[in-house]
Amino acid sequence: MNGATTLPVIDALPSAPSLAIDCELAATWLQAFLEDELIARRGIRNAVVGLSGGVDSAVTAFLCARALGPEHVFTIRLPYKTSSAESLSDAQLVVDALGCNDRTIEITPSVDGYLQHEPDADARRRGNIMARTRMLVLFDQSVKLGALPIGTGNKTERLMGYFTWHADDAPPLNPLGDLFKTQVWALARFLGVPKSIVDKAPSADLETNQTDEGDLGISYAKADAILALMLFGYDDARIAARGFSSQEIGIVRWRVDGTHWKRHLPTTAMLSSTAINEFYLRPVDY
């Protein structure tokens, strides 16, 4: 149309949420979080960390050492007979770097003591039994040591349900629960976690040659980017416009939607207006 004003083209897609973090600030905040929750609120000076040889437990141990001092950190390695020898040696790198307390407790007799009565147990069941046996040991050792077990699960795994319920996510404190996996890697480099741990492919080490990304069907880098967009309310079409395939979006969406129940305490049938965690909360929780 003659004389019409040409309007500027406006990008319909707002800026994607950034996954970059200020590692120094994050480390300082998480140190303060652990100090407050352990010492100030609970009067506990010791922490128990299940040390798997992976980056998440390594970062957790480093943070606990900053908050409590390495002499108050008790790292425990819990191998099964099929566990990778590399997992044990990488865990030792953390112990050597921090100078913290260390113990190795073999879980094979406990796990096999049960599995001998369940010869048809598949890999999934066996992995869950291993994970829950490890958590049983960590909670018991925390009582013995006057300590608190510290969780090591990251935000990516928690959102995608990639953990064993009442196992990996059971400890009462979790300093990494609001950090995506890629952010944990960044924090690990800042804290000085041994490079071989940071650079290796993440694995739950429940089966031979198992990797997290192989199980999930997507890389952590892509999963984190998609999750961040989902959390900011992006629908699938807008996420796809950012260059992700429908298959990648579907993998993440299906895992998030299908594992919502794993991120809650047991669902309580409410019979009153004072149901715990449904209505009754601490003042700080309101």
Label residue 283 by pLDDT band (50, 70, 90). low
pLDDT of residue 57: 97
DSSP structural state of residue 35:
I
Within 10 Å of residue 273's Cβ, how many Cβ atoms?
8
pLDDT at residue 12 above 70? no
Distance CA 189, CA 83 (A): 25
Tens digits of residue pLDDT in 172-190: 999 999 999 999 999 999 9
Tens digits of residue pLDDT in 29-49: 999 999 999 999 999 999 999
pLDDT of residue 266: 79
The model carries a pTM of 0.90
Label residue 151 by pLDDT band (50, 70, 90). very high
Q: Does domain 23-212 have CATH number 3.40.630.30?
A: no
pLDDT of residue 1: 43
DSSP H/E element including 99 = none
List the domain boundaries for the chain: 23-212
Q: What distances in angstroms separate CA 74 from CA 61, 89, 95, 233, 268, one per listed residue?
A: 9, 17, 10, 41, 35
User: Going edge to edge, which strands form the sheet with 46-50?
Assistant: 101-104, 73-77, 46-50, 147-149
pLDDT at residue 286 above 90? no
Q: What distances in angstroms separate CA 211 from CA 78, 130, 206, one per listed residue?
A: 19, 17, 9
